[in-house]
Amino acid sequence: MLRTKDILDEKDKTLRQHSQEVVFPLTKQDKKNIKMMIEYLTNSQIEEKALKYDLRPGMGMAAIQIGVPKRYITIVHESSEGVFDNYVVINPKIVSTSMEKIYVEVGEGCLSVNREVEGIVPRYARVTVEGYDEEGNKIRIRAKEELAVAFQHEIDHLNGILFFDYIDKKFPYKDQDKYRAI
C-alpha cells in the first residue's frame, strides 16, 4: 500500500525529469503501481481512511511522483458523494482545449508539494485527452472544470512541470480577472 511518505517531495530532482513513453504490454510492476495509485487516491478522499492511514487527500497522481519516470497517470474523481470515477491513461496527450481558461479559487495543490502556495494557475476549462488504457487500447476522454484541471496538472508532471511554475513570483494573482474561478 502506498503511503504519503512514498510520494516524492518537490525538492526531489526526479520530479523535474521528462517521463518516458510506455511500451505495451505493461509490466507487472506498472500494473501494480497503477493499482496502488488508485487505491491511495480513493482512500485519501474517504475521510475515515485518510485519517486511519495518514493520507494527504489527492485526486490525481503521475507515475513520476512515486519515482517511476514513465508516462502514465491516474485520476480518481468523486463524481457524486462516495462515487468515484477512475481514469488511467497511458502515454496521455492533450489533443484539444477550450479557449476559456479557469483557475482553482482555493489554489491548486499537489501531493508532492507539502506547503500552501499562493497564486493562480491558469488552466483550460475543457480538454480532450488521448492515450491508451491498461490493455493498450486507444482512448479519448473529454474533461471539463476540475477534472480538466486534474488532467492538465498530471500531464504536466510527466514533463517535469509543477503547478507553481505557472504562478508569477512577483504578482501571484496576475491576470486573475481574465480567468473564471472554479
Going from N- to C-terminal start, the domains of the chain cover: 4-181
Q: What is the β-pairing status of strands 126-132 and 83-97?
A: antiparallel
Residue found under cell 504519503? 4
Cβ 38 vs Cβ 88: under 8 Å: yes
Cα distance between residue 157 and residue 21, in whole Å? 13
108 catalytic? Reply is: no
**Span 4-181: which CATH code?**
3.90.45.10
Residue found under cell 494557475? 121
Q: What is the β-pairing status of strands 180-181 and 126-132?
A: unpaired
Residues of the chain with pLDDT under 70: none
Q: Compute, in degrees rounded to 10, the torsion defined by CA atoms 65, 127, 172, 66.
A: 0
pLDDT at 65: 98
Catalytic residue among 134, 145, 146, 154: 154
pLDDT at 53: 94
pLDDT at 82: 85
| Dihedral pair phi/psi, residue 12, rounded to 5° | -75, 120
Please measure the distance between the N-terminal and C-terminal CA atoms of the chain and give it in whole angstroms.
32
Ramachandran category for residue 160: left, alpha or beta (phi over 0 → left; psi -120 to 50 → alpha): left
